[in-house]
């Protein structure tokens, strides 16, 4: 997707913007002309991403715990003071913990649901009035996962949370349709992020396999046999928030090389 400036002047809030998919989305929206608030818990990575964006188009809001309504509210004060009402919301913050279902503790379950699902509810609710005021320019994009479309072993809580994100997205799409605001989800497969690289290192350490073999194991379900690039997810998000995607609503778009196909 070319850098057309289609988003010129529109304020986009991206959570979990300090690395991986969130950072790629922030960079992409900045190149498209948006004013981007980068939200996350750690300031240094957010500042590093902000430095890559065009001058004057990035704001950093650190110490934002997306499971804490008060922290979200504080971050939004800074975001709105800097760039005004939010027109585009990208709920990207998330985490995954792996364990067999029988060994998944209630604490692990609750952490995962809080970070991956409840956060989407909390942040969206906090900016909803801005989005509705933006009318047909208003956009919500929730970063789910192919785990929100199918099941995977050893990540039951994550699958449940991401299925919840897809369901929440579809409910919002219907509720907000008359306002012009759209809500969609992107569902990446295994993507080349620091999280994936840590998983690859774990596979290597436990099995003695080389990096190529570990990546091959991780991507075995992808017909293209590769990791998805974060920039590919960012390009899809950039399209969904563009004026030309006004009729795309309530969709869960798999970015996974054909691993998951909608029926």
Q: Which residues are marked as active site? A: 158
- Token pair for residue 150? 């199918």
């Amino acid at each position: 997707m070319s850098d057309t400036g289609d988003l010129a002047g529109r304020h986009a809030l991206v959570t979990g913007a300090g690395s991986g998919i969130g950072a790629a989305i922030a960079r992409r929206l900045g190149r498209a002309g948006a004013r981007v608030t980068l939200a996350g818990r750690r300031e240094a990575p957010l500042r590093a991403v902000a430095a890559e964006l065009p001058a004057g188009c990035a704001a950093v809001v650190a110490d934002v715990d997306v499971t804490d309504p008060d922290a979200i509210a504080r971050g939004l004060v800074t975001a709105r003071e800097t760039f005004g009402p939010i027109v585009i919301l990208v709920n990207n913050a998330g985490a995954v913990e792996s364990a067999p279902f029988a060994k998944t503790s209630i604490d692990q379950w609750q952490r995962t649901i809080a970070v991956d699902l409840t956060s989407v509810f909390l942040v969206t609710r906090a900016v909803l009035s801005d989005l509705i005021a933006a009318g047909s320019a208003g956009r919500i994009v929730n970063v789910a996962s192919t785990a929100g479309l199918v099941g995977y072993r050893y990540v039951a809580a994550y699958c449940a949370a991401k299925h919840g994100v897809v369901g929440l997205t579809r409910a919002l799409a219907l509720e907000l349709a008359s306002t012009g605001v759209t809500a969609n989800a992107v569902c990446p497969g295994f993507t080349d992020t620091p999280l994936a690289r840590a998983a690859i290192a774990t596979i290597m350490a436990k099995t003695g396999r080389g990096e190529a073999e570990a990546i091959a194991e991780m991507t075995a379900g992808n017909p293209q046999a590769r990791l998805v690039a974060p920039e590919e997810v960012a390009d899809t998000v950039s399209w969904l928030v563009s004026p030309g995607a006004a009729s795309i609503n309530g969709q869960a778009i798999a970015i996974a090389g054909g691993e998951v196909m909608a029926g």
